[in-house]
Structure 1
Amino acid sequence: MHLKYYCLLLITLLVTHLSPAQQQRLPQQRLPQQRYYNLGDFRLENGQVIKNCRLGYRTAGKLNANRSNAILVPTWFTGKSENKLFMAAPDQVADSTRFFTIVVDALGNGVSSSPSNSKAQPGALFPQFSIRDMVRAEYELVTKHLGLPHLYAVAGISMGGMQAFEWLFTYPTMMDKVVSIVGTPDQSAHDRFLWGTQLAVLERGKYSTDAMKTVGALHEMHLTSPEYYHTKLPTEQEYKKYLQAKEAEYVKNNDPFNWASQLRAMLGHDVFRDRNRTQAIRDTKAKALVIVALQDHMVNPLSALQLARDLNAEVLELTGNCGHLANGCEADKIKAKARRFMAREED
């Protein structure tokens, strides 16, 4: 790998942990370029149409001679491709020193077509898409725009992990490997309580700033675990200061209509909807690595663990108290497991 590009990836890692103001002071040309693919009028599985639909993406690394080293990385809930570029850093799951990494902005994230940026269908007028629609759009990007008939892998975190599971069954022969990190093939009752309550707050609060503050507090509460917050915020003063800062951050960085659109997509997520589970599992050809956090209070790990057993997939259980944020807290475990799982025969 060229030294210049290695430095680029290190800078990208740093950028994901900087404030928006700090990010603005960094030269933009140091980040992989934000690109777009225009899908035209994109028909959703519910029959609605996103007019002038486009998908944002960034790439890192290079295709090998036989174009067999491409990895697709879908974004997490409300995340953007610039936040997910760390997955392409050396020793990460989609290490772009070895792979051609395609990080895709999911529908509704404010970069790809979303309620906040649609001129024809703004705000509440934006059509309701599903996780499956996200994956169908990504498949079109890969095959029609990038001209790739096959992927080496699909790898995602959280809602990106949900999309990875959907890829596994919507396009069962399209990739060799799938990695889902703190994702789920469907939603548990607990997940539905969380996502449904957030959506209800936004709808009943008419997508107001106060509603977004409350949703942010709910979201933050479930990101980790009671034990984690007991240690991190031991006093009432520290809790109030933290909550105030987080509420302001959620309001500043998120459009409530975008948030609601991806909430609805997750609430409807079920990879076996309209499919025979046994046949779908039999049809898939990809090897799977399922990584779960046992103290996850945001995405319940039980469905993912059951599917891993049915697929005879490799499993990594994260046991710390960071909950849904275990991807960061236990990153070394994930990287070690992923390096072995993602190894290619020619490496």
Structure 2
Amino acid sequence: MGAAETSGRERFDLGDFLLESGEVLQGAFLIYRTLGRLSPARDNCILLPSYYSGTDASYDRIIGPGRALDPARYFIVLTNMFGNGVSASPSTLTNSCAGAGFPKVTIRDTAAAQHRLLSERFGISKLKLATGWSMGAMQSLHMAALYPDFVERVLAVCGNAKCWPLNQAFLEGGSAALRADATYEGGCYSAPPETGLRAFGRVYAGWAYSAEFFRERLYEGLGYADLEAFLKGWEDDHLEHDANDLLAVLHAWRHADAGKALADITARTVLMPCDTDTYFTVRETELEAAEIGHAEVKVLHSPYGHCAGAPGRFDTEAREVEAEMLRILAD
């Protein structure tokens, strides 16, 4: 992690944190960053939770003066979820919860920890907006479902409150590929399981974008000479991550389900799926919108699949997401 990414980070200690499973995450903590100033009324806070393989720094490209996320107007809190290698994770703990001893953490657990951070450290009783991409969207929806009086607005980009069956199948494939490496040793490895990490990245790459993206060789526009170079790039990217961290967050994603609490959401809710996303499909987003009852569904039309909603990655899609954010904040 570079100095630019870690600058300004703070730590919120949670002690021995009781999890949804009944296990205890010993010495739990969240690492977060804030931008802007909290208003005297404490009513201008926006929450951006991290996404899979991302950190608080991953949203930087969509924050700035004159943007929807303008620190001159809002108090922006960027959080790192449990397991992501920044907050309490297999790779960051040194107690019995380190490494293979890391307990099964869920999205509900991270949402509960974030609620404590916002309410206890900052005295916030209501969020202006909870928003994020992918697992950031999952956390935002859980926050609104579990704490309905706490969240005024939700903008969930390419993410659901539940991991639906096709999504589960994708995640199981990646998990199996990583665990099949003999050097993984059930999470007790002494050196990174490189073969498993490479396999994980290669499996992941085939799902992140759409059929059109591959058919039309759109990866060339991202700087890859051919398909093999693209797949190799995803392999190399995953070598930068700790295997147990990847699997800890994957477990949270795989088992996400806000359940009947979706009906408790009172926040103004906008769901933005991409029409070519194979993780979080339009149809399953529509089913969740029906459970919420008052949610709007605004479909992103893009050949970039799940990655269409990645913060600032593709100009056209980023402008569409930002326009929706401006609209919901203005209401």
2:250 counterpart SS class: helix
1:66 counterpart SS class: coil
Q: What percentage of residue pairs aligned between the two structures are identical?
A: 26
- Pairing partner for 1:269 from 256, 268, 271: 256
CA drift at 1:32? 5.3
2:152 counterpart SS class: strand
CA drift at 1:107? 0.4
CA drift at 1:175? 1.4
Q: Which residue of 2 aligns with 1:60?
A: 35
2:179 counterpart SS class: helix
Structure 1: distance between partners of 2:307 and 2:59: 14
Aligned AA (2:218): K
Q: Which string of whole-angstrom CA distances, capped at 9 and with x for unpartnered residues, describes residues 239-286 of structure 1?
A: 2233223312211x21110000111111111110xx4x6xx51x3321
Q: Which string of whole-angstrom CA distances, capped at 9 and with x for unpartnered residues, describes residues 162-195 of structure 1?
A: 1111112100110111111000121222101101
Q: Which residue of 2 aligns with 1:180?
A: 156
Q: Which residue of 2 aligns with 1:316?
A: 298
User: In the superposition, relative to structure 1, how do residues 69 and 185 fare at CA in structure 2: closer, same or farther (>3 Å)?
Assistant: same
- Pairing partner for 1:197 from 164, 169, 173: 173
8 Å contact 2:127–2:152 — kept in the other structure?
yes
- Pairing partner for 1:241 from 210, 226, 229: 229
Residue 341, structure 1, aligned to residue 299, structure 2 = no
8 Å contact 1:32–1:60 — kept in the other structure?
no
CA drift at 1:157? 0.7
User: In the superposition, relative to structure 1, how do residues 93 and 192 fare at CA in structure 2: closer, same or farther (>3 Å)?
Assistant: farther
User: In the superposition, relative to structure 1, how do residues 237 and 175 fare at CA in structure 2: closer, same or farther (>3 Å)?
Assistant: closer
Matched positions, count: 311
CA drift at 1:205? 2.2
8 Å contact 1:184–1:301 — kept in the other structure?
no
CA drift at 1:303? 2.2
User: In the superposition, relative to structure 1, how do residues 91 and 269 fare at CA in structure 2: closer, same or farther (>3 Å)?
Assistant: farther
User: In the superposition, relative to structure 1, how do residues 203 and 168 fare at CA in structure 2: closer, same or farther (>3 Å)?
Assistant: same
- The 5-angstrom pairing of residues 1-347 of structure 1 reads 28=4, 33-90=8-65, 92-120=67-95, 121-206=97-182, 207=184, 208-230=193-215, 231-233=217-219, 238-251=226-239, 253-272=240-259, 275=260, 280-281=262-263, 283-310=264-291, 311-327=293-309, 328-329=313-314, 330-343=317-330
Aligned AA (2:15): G
Structure 2: distance between partners of 1:233 and 1:80: 24
CA drift at 1:86? 3.2
8 Å contact 1:191–1:300 — kept in the other structure?
no
Q: Which residue of 2 aligns with 1:10?
A: none
CA drift at 1:325? 1.2
Structure 2: distance between partners of 1:295 and 1:152: 30
CA drift at 1:233? 5.0
2:154 counterpart SS class: strand
Structure 2: distance between partners of 1:35 and 1:323: 34
Q: Which string of whole-angstrom CA distances, capped at 9 and with x for unpartnered residues, describes residues 303-333 of structure 1?
A: 2222224422222101110111112331111
User: In the superposition, relative to structure 1, how do residues 245 and 326 fare at CA in structure 2: closer, same or farther (>3 Å)?
Assistant: closer
1:290 counterpart SS class: strand
